[in-house]
Structure 1
Amino acid sequence: MNQIRTPNKDAYTLILEAIDSGVYRPGDRLVESELAERFGVSRTPIREALQRLETQSLLARDGRSLIVASLDHNQMAELYVVRTELEGLAARLAARHASEEEIQVLRDMVSEDRALLNDPTALARANRRFHKMIHLASHNRFLVQQLDLVHRSMALMATTSLAAQGRGEIALAEHKAIVDAIARRDEDAAYKALRDHISVAFVTRLKLDSQKVD
């Protein structure tokens, strides 16, 4: 196993980022010694990080082992209810507070992300960056903290809704509508556009999950 040298990050952040990026997927077992070797840190901070992640329900017990948790249907629905409201609020506040430079960055993201339409994994990463930019443009640190927690839990979903046929193209059109509303300083329209965007993503994910049922 190759060691990843990231001296400026603690064990908790390293494991969290590995889950978020898909290095560890729902159901994968996490072993202290393997994590310590991978990240080049001692087992004590790894153990503490695992305990913290378990407390946050990002890890679950499977016998004596810790595995990356997964979300059942009800948990996913509850998460989307919270995400929809918080994301909508972030868009509303971004329409009120975003600087012209932040709006330009959002516009550039929408334009540049079109090159990723044939790569759902890269598009999913770009999608997270886009939403994070809106969170920051809200200029509300407490909202950003809550959305960070929500997006951590989103990492527990095994697939991205952007993997659905045609979803990437539609999502980028929705992103453009969100940015246009923010640029117009239309708070209600920005709120609605982002809520609708999350709602469509949820429907898409439900359809994807239903296709897995025998």
Structure 2
Amino acid sequence: MTEFKPAQKDAYTLILEAIDSGIYRPGDRLVESELADRFGVSRTPIREALQRLETQSLLARDGRSLIVASLDHNQLSELYVVRAELEGLAARLAARHATEEEIRVLRDMVEEDRTLVDQPKALSRANRRFHKQIHLASHNRYLVQQLDLVHRSMALMATTSIAAEGRGQDTIAEHNAIVDAIAKRDEQTAYQMLKDHISKAFVTRLKLDSGAIKRLEE
């Protein structure tokens, strides 16, 4: 029997995941040779990956160097407007198309995430998984692709809104209400609740960026 071997990740995916996980943060300089050493690949695929990431505006030029891009206030606002609409649509379609098994997975995620309320980094990762599951439950491949692009840009934020004191509990409660609406096949409520959820996250982020509220100790 042929042994199954998982596919190796390409340079683009490796760098993207490093940005998403915070290994490289906005403003950090990316050097071909250092990336090649870190990921154990040659410089040619690294160079191609960097060019692709620059084209997608995830990297920016700083003189002759490439750095991880950052979002200004206007870009952040524009991103959240698009995200709210697309996420809301995903919830609406999930209420229409999600299987009972997919709904059970969403419910299980909410329950498991209750144990992470005081762990902002872990809860942030769990939050991404939860939203991704809703995207998949929409059963619309084109919407999933667009949301993937939006969430790549979300990686350019230096902090997560879940890091705000009290936001973890609110996030879990909002997720639970969204799943309830999906389970009831209430498309309009699912749409509006997820839009409101993103809006609250945006308000929290604006307050975090202004220093108006406290971050949890990490």
- TM-score for the superposition, normalised by structure 2: 0.94
Moved over 2 A (4+): none
Q: Deviations over 1:155-183 (max 9, x none)?
A: 00000000001000001000000000000
**Structure 1 letter corresponding to 2:67:** I
Count of matched residue pairs? 207
SS of the residue corresponding to residue 158 of structure 1 reads coil
Q: Does 1:191 align with 2:195?
A: no
How does 1:164-183 map onto structure 2 within 5 Å? 164-183=164-183
Quote the RMSD (CA, aligned, Å). 1.0
SS of the residue corresponding to residue 135 of structure 1 reads helix
SS of the residue corresponding to residue 162 of structure 2 reads helix
Determine the structure 1 residue equivalent to 2:148: 148
Alpha-carbon distance in 2 for matches of 1:96, 1:21: 32
Deviation at 1:211, TM superposition (A): 1.1
Deviation at 1:7, TM superposition (A): 6.2
Alpha-carbon distance in 2 for matches of 1:7, 1:140: 25
Determine the structure 1 residue equivalent to 2:138: 138
Alpha-carbon distance in 2 for matches of 1:46, 1:112: 37
Determine the structure 2 residue equivalent to 1:30: 30
Q: Percent identity between the aligned chains?
A: 83
Determine the structure 2 residue equivalent to 1:41: 41
Q: Deviations over 1:16-47 (max 9, x none)?
A: 01101111110111000010011110000000
Determine the structure 2 residue equivalent to 1:122: 122
Deviation at 1:102, TM superposition (A): 0.4
Q: Deviations over 1:62-121 (max 9, x none)?
A: 111100000000000000000000000000000000000000000000000011111100
Q: Deviations over 1:109-156 (max 9, x none)?
A: 000001111110000000000000000000000000000000000000
SS of the residue corresponding to residue 179 of structure 2 reads helix
Change (3 A) 1:166 1:133: same
**Structure 2 letter corresponding to 1:82:** V
Q: Does 1:70 align with 2:70?
A: yes
Alpha-carbon distance in 1 for matches of 2:31, 2:60: 13
SS of the residue corresponding to residue 61 of structure 2 reads strand
Determine the structure 2 residue equivalent to 1:101: 101
**Structure 1 letter corresponding to 2:182:** I
